[in-house]
Amino acid sequence: MLKIITKASQLRGRVSVECSDEEMKSYNHITDQLKILMRSANGVGIAAPQVGIFKRMFLFQRDNGLIQVVINPEICWLSGNTRKEYEGCLSVPFRTKRVTRDTNITVKYFNGKEFITESLRDMESRIFQHEWHHLLGILFIDIE
């Protein structure tokens, strides 16, 4: 069973690599475990590097409650409109901090079946940016 890393020093600065075509097809065993971890910890997002898998893959909870699988994501557009709100992180227990994020973004990713492009706003946009930062080795406690 995978375990969530809660030492910032093991995540900070570690850039995740793209999932290969082969990994994109065989992602299920990882995302299933990530889903369980995220749910049991009452999180709204979790990225593969948080369990020591330094691959570009994360999950986030949509406004409708469903969990979205995101593989090899790109942020194609940021609105430039920002808002500062409190965030937390499963890898940084017991800490919250206000972080500035773009309210609207356009993203591209593989959802496990196909490549999609979509616009996200507010909470979905915030979580996506938080998880995206995990793939770059950036933690919310280190940004304004």
Which residues form the interface with Zn ion (CB under 5 A)? Answer: 89
Calpha distance 2→55 (Å, rounded): 14
Nearest residue to Zn ion, by Cβ distance, number only: 89
Nearest approach, Cβ of residue 29 and Zn ion (Å): 22
Q: Which is nearer to Zn ion, 117 or 143 (CB)?
A: 143
Nearest approach, Cβ of residue 135 and Zn ion (Å): 11
Nearest approach, Cβ of residue 45 and Zn ion (Å): 6
Q: Which is nearer to Zn ion, 48 or 107 (CB)?
A: 48
Alpha helices in the chain (DSSP H): 21-25, 28-40, 122-135
| Residue 131: active-site member | yes
Q: Are 58 and 28 in contact (CB under 8 A)?
A: no
Q: Which is nearer to Zn ion, 59 or 89 (CB)?
A: 89
- Of the candidates 18, 85, 124, 131, the residue annotated as catalytic is 131
Burial of 108 (0-12, 13-18, 19+ CB in 10 A): middle
Task: Collect all residues with Cβ–Cβ distance below 8 Å to 4 and sequence separation of at least 6.
Answer: 37, 41, 46, 50, 51, 90, 91
Q: Which is nearer to Zn ion, 20 or 96 (CB)?
A: 96
Q: What residues are labeled active site?
A: 131
